[in-house]
Amino acid sequence: MYSRAYKAAVAIPPIVWVTAFLLVPYAILFCYSFWSVSSIQTIVHHWNLQNYLELARNSLYRDVLFRSMRIAAAVTCFALLLGYPLAYYLSFHATTRKDLLYQLVIIPLWASYLVRGYAWKTILGTDGVLNGVLRFTHATDLLLAIQNSVNLHLAASHQITLVPLPFLLYSPFAVVLVLTHIYTPFVILPIYASLEHIPRNLVEASHDLGSSPWSTFRRVILPLSLPGVIAGATFAFVLTLGDFLAPLLVGGSSGIMISNIVVGLFGAAYNWPLGAAIAFFMMVIVMALLFTTERLEKRLKVS
């Protein structure tokens, strides 16, 4: 049995830490979201709901929020499509290469986010690596021809010769691509963990009872790995939704996400109250999401 003093000594530091560095700042932020900014750019401690009403009224915020969610959903889908097969291969079929492949999944996590963002910039840019390759192989002509045939009114404005693809960088496409690259490991790892937890004799039992490999995947492996899928999808969605670096680096004006707006409001725009309101609104969305997925995971998890 531990003494009262020991229990207190163990419990107090984290409580102090959480209070001082989490709860108090959040509380301050929460207060800010009900204040406003005066015409001479000072913060007025006058309690009102203006910021939340602005959030509901101004279509800019709504549009950016929906775009952020679309991007987050797209990143989640692509990360799952890329991550699940890799996690499955890693867990079930990579025999001797297992450790190496696992390291290859982990290693990008050691590299700085900024480095990876800038790397994508050099790949996707107008004079970047990707366009270079595409132009060298004349694939751009084909792609642009397809695009032009879709948008006939643009046909005249484009020369069909060795032009770079302009839409690679500074677009929602670039944001989705970069974030998919960055967050796929966060999807692979929980799925891999849940696949590793499936007793292999269940797979054998399924074959033994007459299920083909595909049917075994559908009826045994996939259902038992769903908690990992949900955890991974939650990671990808929540992390993407709050991301502001990728849109900053490769998003351009059409790739702006909600966090960029928050950053802007706390920075140049100097409207902390509105920024705080958006931040709080986002936090509520994310917490509702986490709450739901956690319950879902618990229900799917079978002992």
131 vs 206 by CB, closer to another protein: 206
Question: Helix (H, G, I), strand (E, B), or coil: what is residue 36?
Answer: strand
Residues binding another protein (CB under 8 A): 199, 201-202, 204-213, 215-216, 219-220, 223-224, 300, 302-303
| CB 275, min distance to another protein, A | 45
Q: What span, in angstroms and rounded, lies between the C-alpha atoms of 51 and 29?
A: 13
State the minimum distance, in angstroms, from the CB of residue 303 to another protein.
5
Q: How far is the CB of 207 from another protein (least distance, A)?
A: 4
Judged by beta carbon, residue 191 or residue 238, the one nearer another protein is 191
Distance of closest approach, residue 228 Cβ to another protein, in angstroms: 14
- In the complex with another protein, the residue whose CB is nearer, 82 or 198, is 198
Residue 115 Cβ, how far from another protein at the closest point, in Å?
42
CA 104 to chain centre: 20
Residue with tokens 């702006």: 256
Residue closer to another protein by CB (options 216, 293) is 216
CB closer to another protein out of 14 and 210: 210
